[in-house]
Structure 1
């Protein structure tokens, strides 16, 4: 899905994988109304070896046209391209797994076709463009890096117009999956893992009690490890961390970036204090602590004292990063309800949204006019794309 005009269930960057027999193998590009028709065209595209762009006007009477009856009130522009050599997808997966900046570049030609042509490995300013197959179109465009930088900064795909025979370049940033570190494997931790895995997040469970870790009932596809070191290349990690361990050594082996969230669930004051003292200075997006507002205030006072003893101040940015009590006000009290409210809060924080009712949102729902985010390491606004983001109202 490369462009949307009006309303659409999915947004640009949504992908679908189908085979020549018209079977949907993975992904989605709509709420279910377009997949069948798109898949039916796969054999022809593979036979010709050329990509083709499709436009679905969802504002029309789709019940009469295709029997969809979607009434989505928008226009979806798609590129359907053959995939004779899928090896470049492994590069994409590796870049996302390393949690490095990257992007996929797709050329949309002036003849109604197009194809994926390059993968950017790294930041737009310093990364390397790797051509896909023999494709090199558009990689040398001098303004490409600035557009790729804007896509990476906003985490939203964009169309970049060219002046030659190509209609545009579609730049899709490679956004790392959200990493959730659950500290404390007691009551409720399993619900956090199950819900987060349903969201396809990377999950690490950390505790200093081997017996509690051993009793966890995790998703069947999860490989568990009880050790003092983090085991990589698994969907969910289970890590034993003694209170006497060097927290910084353990944390250095885990993701700690703008798409990292941490949930402190131990409900043991001294354990939470030690972890929170180590965690608050990190550049993560979210830290949530289980417990009451009074307990949270006591924890912050103790953390302030501990950081002060190390010569570090408890800043307003650290306070803003902390969510205690954890979660949105959904009203539920069960461990599963608490996990749901916390993960919903994390999702809102990561996407820079206020987590209110969509029916009360005044601006468009989707990413075409996103709610502004605060980038902790941003420098001065230096491009029209960045300035546009900064000026948009919430």
Structure 2
């Protein structure tokens, strides 16, 4: 539901009744991932998507049904060999959706929506598969382990669900967890769908150059909290970067030392000036961040590499540097360059190869921890 949480929170604040269909299981080449949602209110207004169009009509009807009878239900949609135009996923994938009338669990779900809209770190754990009496049960779990709501059943079920949801929230992950009905961590009885709302990942752009403005716009489009940092106050201005969340005038390496970063943070060094980027990269390549990239020609890269080695960086640390930054798209303009940089960031995050899908046998939808081993092939 995170993709439509802001709008759903507005509906909840207005006192609307609505039902939400959430993708709780995915198989094959499904167009949307876990947590994708479509919602319908009592007036028939719909927002969101669970399939990119394949089964939206059928899911809409299920939401209307849930609103009418107040019951949570689960439905599976897959490809139909007999009739490719019947309700199903013609891409060949399979999705399962959990359809929940929100009024049935309003205090928990609406509290989660409100917290998500405020940018707080909070997880919603719901029973996506299990006994009928558990289906749709919900828990709101905060980073400190406190929670609201309860899952009917064995007393240990809540404790285990809270612990699992808290672990996924700490990792910023949305996904499924299998536990037994008695609350043990052994699979076999209950499947939870845990949706983690965490503050947006940071993108810090070092260097208020002409390419930076386009990268800021792309970063915002991808959902990052974007900061521009440059030591030169004449360039690091709100007028030049109106879309940035923060503009910092400071030496890049000094700012990086004092600001907060985490395993999702992306650092893009666009200065291609040794006096700025060498001390900055000395700091950046030793931080546990998601991505470190630096702009510059191949000659600039070679000189930078030499300077960093002289500064004491190891081969392992230098291997983390994406330089020259960006995928080879033949980019020329700042906008094209920003697209090439963003494409490499997404590929690094999701485990993509950067090769065209046409003619390749790489999976279309996958994450970095699902990348097949070297030499393996997998049909899309």
TM-score, normalised relative to structure 2: 0.76
Equivalent pair of 1:248/1:278 in contact (CA under 8 Å): no
**Partner in structure 2 of residue 4 of structure 1:** 26
What is the number of equivalent residue pairs in this alignment? 342
SS of the counterpart of 2:193? strand
Alignment of 1:1-394 (within 5 A): 1-25=23-47, 27-59=48-80, 64-65=85-86, 71-84=90-103, 85=106, 86-92=110-116, 97=119, 103-108=123-128, 109-111=130-132, 114-115=135-136, 117-122=138-143, 127-128=144-145, 130-132=147-149, 134-135=150-151, 140-141=156-157, 145=163, 149=167, 155=173, 157-163=175-181, 167-174=190-197, 177-214=200-237, 216=239, 218=241, 222=243, 236-241=245-250, 243=251, 247-248=253-254, 251-254=257-260, 256-306=261-311, 313-359=312-358, 362=361, 364-367=363-366, 370-372=367-369
Equivalent pair of 1:371/1:392 in contact (CA under 8 Å): no
Question: CA offsets per residue over residues 54-113 of structure 1, 9 Å max, x none?
Answer: 2223335666545x8x5222332101112233122233456xx46x6x643111343398
1:44 & 1:137 partners in 2: Cα distance?
A: 26
Structure 1 residue 266 displacement after superposition: 2.0
Equivalent pair of 2:79/2:94 in contact (CA under 8 Å): yes
Structure 1 residue 289 displacement after superposition: 1.0
Unaligned runs of 5+ in 2: 1-22, 183-187
2:155 & 2:327 partners in 1: Cα distance?
A: 44
Structure 1 residue 166 displacement after superposition: 6.0
Unaligned runs of 5+ in 1: 225-235, 307-312, 375-388
Structure 1 residue 355 displacement after superposition: 2.5
Equivalent pair of 1:14/1:28 in contact (CA under 8 Å): yes
**Partner in structure 2 of residue 310 of structure 1:** none
Structure 1 residues 190-199 or 202-211, which shifts more? 202-211
Structure 1 residue 300 displacement after superposition: 2.8
**Partner in structure 1 of residue 16 of structure 2:** none
Structure 1 residue 340 displacement after superposition: 0.7
Question: CA offsets per residue over residues 310-331 of structure 1, 9 Å max, x none?
Answer: xxx4123321221110111111
Over aligned residues, Cα RMSD in angstroms?
Answer: 3.6
Equivalent pair of 1:45/1:81 in contact (CA under 8 Å): yes
Question: CA offsets per residue over residues 152-211 of structure 1, 9 Å max, x none?
Answer: 769461241534696532234556533211111211111101112111222111122333
2:269 & 2:227 partners in 1: Cα distance?
A: 12
CA spacing shift, 1:264–1:249, aligned 2, 3 Å: closer
Structure 1 residue 347 displacement after superposition: 0.9
SS of the counterpart of 1:326? coil
